[in-house]
Amino acid sequence: MKRRPFLLTGLGALGALVVGWGVLPVRNRLGTADTLPVADGEVGLNGWIKIARDGTVVLAMHRSEMGQGIHTALAMLVAEELDVPLARVALVQAGPDRLYGNIAGFVANLPFHPTEAEPGHETRTVKLGQGLVAKLARELGINMTGGSSSVSDSWDVLRLAAATARAQLLGAASLQWRLPVEELAVVEGIVSHPSGPSAHYGELVKAAAATPPGDVKLKEAKDWRLIGTPAPRTDLVAKTDGTARFGIDMRPPGLVFAVVRHCPMLGGSPGRVDVTAAMQLPGVERVVRLGPLAGSTAALAVVGRSSWHAMRGAQALAIEWQAPPSGTLDSATILSALERSALDAAHAVADAPRGLAFYTRGDAAQAERDAARRIEHVYQAPYLAHATLEPINCTVLVKDGRVDVWAPTQVPGLARALAARVAAVPEDAVAVHVTLLGGGFGRRLDVDFVGQAVRVALETGGRPVQLLWPREEDIGHDFYRPAGVAVLRASLDAQGSVVGLHITSAGDAVTPRWIERCLPALAGPVDAPDKTAAEGLIDLPYAIPNQRIAHLATTHGVPVGYWRSVGHSHNAFFSETFIDELAVDASVDAVAFRLGLLKDMPRHAAVLRLAAEKAGWPGYGNAPLPAGRARGVALHESFGSIVAQVLEVSLVGGQPRVHRVVCAADVGVVVNPGIVAQQMEGGIVFGLTAALFGRIDIVASVVQQRNFPDYRLLTLAQTPRIETHLIASTRSPAGVGEPGVPPVAPALGNALFALTGQRQRSLPFRSA
């Protein structure tokens, strides 16, 4: 097997820094007690945990809660090791220290094939790459919630932090009571000895802070009492009774509101502006020009006493819009260009291949020359918007040389850096208060709206301002999931076996554009290869002996960003639809065909069999379907998790209707099965919405979709019955927030083919 040695694919100019940082010692992730500020008698034990007077355990929460249940899951890790009830773990926002940076998310950007990176069987190249990138990530310390990496990144460090704190507390009790530590027990945060002494953590913590932890051991899985249980979410009550506070709920004293109106043309700008009508409206205070901050389109913001006043004022502005200097954008033209580029690259002669080969195995070119027959198909996917239900918003107060930012953000450190840059103050003069997020999906990995809010706050005379984007601005000025095209070609021998696979995809790369917007100091003159553009194609589990998987990176000018499951979101549709087409060509059952290619991937095979059994697939339960229904299947690995889905589909009035989704998954250790099931369900609904309705059309640089009537969501009445089945595992936890999305579209398309005999190779699916 041959492959290109990218140690930091997808991280732009940062790759050049890896070697220098590689010689540094590993940064201690536990931190010190001084890392975590204390108040009201609290005592810190390390950079993650402090104990209050009443024995409450306070955890520094370093990840954003956007509905994925991470505040609950991470608190469970700490409660487990400290033997306290989950309700006794309180959360406080982690500070800006590099200690809280995301390491797993960076390491996951390495483009290693599953067979090379299998835990316990990693190749030397994999270990070297992972080690170097982990060191780099520790030094950068970028606090990011994304890539379905929160639990995997925190799994070891939070359990170790809690276990270390527990050892110190027990050690303190042992010294005070002059009793052997091994004779002490902890039940619900109470340390006791059979002879009578007992104390809660709050009574021991002061002495514990000066007590060495000794030999710290993590609990064995057999002793877990909380991990693996469907513990209720800690945010359930607040989100039910309305006391939960999202970004849009912030109301600091003296608050005014600002509403943004961008140039309708992506990359355009406002020219001459007549503010007369707007300023004559009651409640309108001022108009502020906004440049293209952190990748945003230039805009105007109207400040008013309420959001309604500001919105009316923004609508009343008379503006002469200027077209973007780089020329106009058209999504249909871009898709056509992508298809031509992908086809040209795919059909290039073997001695002049085009596109960057992220993964090669054997000799795909020779396999094609020797093939008895070849099968080739072209697949397309459109631009997509995030459309989070909480509108884009940010609240900022600039006063006395300091900046306070209340933001629903996935990257508080980057928000802080941009706020400081716009306000022209040091970063330590900026405080970012992370609120609950009403949906993230990758949109809030960007910080353009934070920069806009700070710019407006500089004009409000020391009063806080809440910046809001109306829904039309959100959908019309997103950082979109890139459009993509892929050409997939299989080589078959005389017996009909697949002996070669050649994939060439084309589309804009997300990571270099994100680095330009959010980490401009690290942007290089030349784009480094972006693994996210090819993920879901370069890491297929199927045992095809000869492969060349390449991507042709393009730059068409549409602002692109990370979208839930990123490249997997469309590449799984390409690959799993093609695998289904090969099964049909071979006249082999879709599940059996895949299993035949998974002989060396037992985990994938087990997940696929479980989905087939639970769905009653022919040969795996043989559950009959009502007349007019058909099943489709897809299998895909993303973010370390393997997911298989079987969809039952019919046509109602010519429209696809999904009645049932059976989802099987191997996500490693399951911290909270209830949350995992919720995330799979949410991912399936998200993926179905995109597969049935999702598309962004751009004409003359203007996005045609404006609001939910023309950028539709799946309704409750259209939502199918969803069943989630999890495979027991002892592996470290993998992602759950995104892996449910990729298999949905191909499973739906494969079911529609079984139902109608018509194969659809473009998203969203057309009516029959």
Interatomic CA distance for residues 187 and 208, integer angstroms: 18
Q: How far is CA 547 from the centre of its chain?
A: 28
Q: Is residue 236 in a domain?
A: no
When pLDDT is cut at 50, 70 and 90, the band that residue 353 belongs to is confident
Do 669 and 573 form a contact (C-beta atoms < 8 A)? no
Question: Residue 132 falls within a domain, yes or no?
Answer: no
pLDDT tens readout for residues 296-325: 999 999 999 999 999 999 999 999 999 999
Query: How high is the pLDDT of residue 11?
Result: 40
Q: What is the pLDDT of residue 414?
A: 98
Are residues 56 and 150 both part of a single domain?
yes
Q: Does pLDDT of 46 surpass 80?
A: yes
Same domain, 167 and 308: no
Same domain for 727 and 638: yes
Please indicate, yes or no, if residue 115 is contained in any of the structural domains: no
The SS3 call for residue 58 is strand
Structural contact between residues 700 and 330, judged by C-beta atoms closer than 8 angstroms:
yes
> 176 and 269: one domain?
no
Residue 621 located in a structural domain:
yes
Within a domain: 255:
yes
Determine, yes or no, domain membership for 111: no
Helix 568-586 vs helix 744-756: angle between axes, to the nearest 10 degrees?
30
CA distances for 208 relative to 157, 176, 204, 509, angstroms: 20, 10, 6, 50
Percent of the chain beyond pLDDT 70? 96
pTM of the full predicted structure?
A: 0.95
Q: What per-residue confidence (pLDDT) applies to 354?
A: 86
**Residues 6 or more apart in contact with residue 570 via CB below 8 angstroms:** 381, 481, 484, 536, 745, 763
Indicate whether 445 and 584 sit together in one domain. no
Same domain, 310 and 177: no
Asked if 400 and 377 sit in the same domain, the reply is no
Expressed in angstroms, the distance from the first to the final Cα of the chain is 43
User: In terms of domains, do 286 and 181 share one?
Assistant: no
Contact yes or no for 413/143 (Cβ under 8 A): yes
Q: What are the helix and strand counts (H, E) for the chain?
A: 22, 27
Sequence-separated (6 or more) residues with CB below 8 Å from residue 498 = 490, 491, 492, 544, 582, 597
| Amino acid at residue number 82 | L
**What confidence score (pLDDT) does residue 19 get?**
44
pLDDT band at 94 (very low <50, low <70, confident <90, very high): very high
Rounded (10°) CA dihedral 41, 44, 49, 50: -10
CB atoms under 10 Å from CB of 352, counted, come to: 6
The pLDDT of residue 351 is 65
Region 591-601: what's the mean pLDDT?
A: 97
What kind and span of H or E run contains 675? helix 673-693
The candidate with the shortest Cα–Cα distance to 751, out of 611, 626, 665, 651, is: 651
Directed axis angle between helix 70-82 and helix 150-177, to 10°?
30
Give me the pLDDT at residue 547, please.
Answer: 97
Candidates 365, 321, 658; CA nearest to 476 is 321
Report the SS3 class of residue 547. strand
Say what the pLDDT of residue 350 is. 65
Give pLDDT tens digits for 174-233. 999 999 999 999 999 999 999 999 999 999 999 999 999 999 999 999 999 999 999 999
**399 and 375 in a common domain:** no
| Residue-wise pLDDT tens digits, 401-446 | 999 999 999 999 999 999 999 999 999 999 999 999 999 999 999 9
Pair of tokens at residue 220: 């064995």
Compute how many other C-beta atoms are within 10 angstroms of the C-beta atom of residue 726: 18
CA-wise closest residue to 236 among 75, 388, 100, 432: 75
d(CA 691, CA 386): 14
**Strand order of the sheet with strand 49-51?**
43-44, 49-51, 57-61, 89-93
Query: Does residue 401 sit in the same domain as residue 550?
Result: no
Closest of 500, 573, 504, 489 to residue 542, by C-alpha: 500
pLDDT 10s digits, 238-256: 999 999 999 999 999 999 9
266/243 Cα distance (integer angstroms):
37
| Judgement on whether residues 575 and 445 belong to the same structural domain of the protein | no
User: How do residues 145-163 score in pLDDT, each as one tens digit?
Assistant: 999 999 999 999 999 999 9
Q: Is 426 exposed, middle or buried (0-12, 13-18, 19+ CB in 10 A)?
A: exposed
- Mean pLDDT in residue range 70-88: 98
Return the HEC string of 362-409: CCHHHHHHHCCEEEEEEEEECEECCCCCCCCEEEEEEECCEEEEEECC
Residue 243 half-sphere exposure toward CB, CA atoms < 13 A? 6
Assess whether pLDDT exceeds 50 at residue 8.
no
Please give the pLDDT value at position 21.
44
Domain ends where: 229, 256, 287? 229
Q: Considering only 463-467, 489-493, 520-524, which range has the smallest mean pLDDT? A: 520-524
Average pLDDT score over the chain? 95
* C-beta separation of 161 from 48 below 8 A: yes
CATH number, residue 669: 3.30.365.10
pLDDT for residue 4 is more than 70: no
Q: Do 337 and 211 sit in the same domain of this protein?
A: no
Domain count, the chain: 3
Spatial neighbors of 242 by CB under 8 A, at least 6 apart, are none
**What residue numbers bound the domain in which 411 lies?**
247-326+392-468
Confirm whether 732 is domain-assigned. yes
Backbone CA torsion sign across 159, 162, 168, 172: negative
Residue with tokens 């919720």, as numbered in its chain:
678
| Domain membership flag for residue 130 | no
